[in-house]
Amino acid sequence: MKILDEQFRSATLIQRQAGGAKVCFYYPKKYKGLLFDNRDIVSHVASVIVAPQSNKEKKMRAKLFLVRGRFFSIEFPKRPEAYMQKRGIDINKDELRVITVESYIKT
């Protein structure tokens, strides 16, 4: 988590695209901070399942991507806002939590 925490603090732009279905993180051009070992150009490194605290049955999957050792994006198959509204989840009252992580990289 140390690497991810540092990268989140270093992000200079966080951009939501496709109605929030994709969130991208951008860093300074001369970023000298910690990097993940995976330095591929683009790599799908994990999938997570998130759900509201009050009802873990109302889950949603997201994919996590790295670009050259930096956390780059989290991508949902559908717009999270529309998904939550359709399932009666009030994001202002019920925080989403990660309930499962499927890692696709060797540790």
The pLDDT, as a whole number, for residue 106 is: 65
Long-range contacts of 44-47 (CB under 8 A, 24+ apart): 44/104, 45/103, 45/104, 45/105, 46/101, 46/102, 46/103, 46/104, 46/105, 47/101, 47/102, 47/104
- pTM here is 0.85
The pLDDT, as a whole number, for residue 27 is: 96
pLDDT tens for 52-80 read: 888 788 888 999 999 999 999 999 988 88
Residue 8 predicted with pLDDT over 90: yes
Kind plus residue range of the DSSP H or E element containing 61: strand 60-67
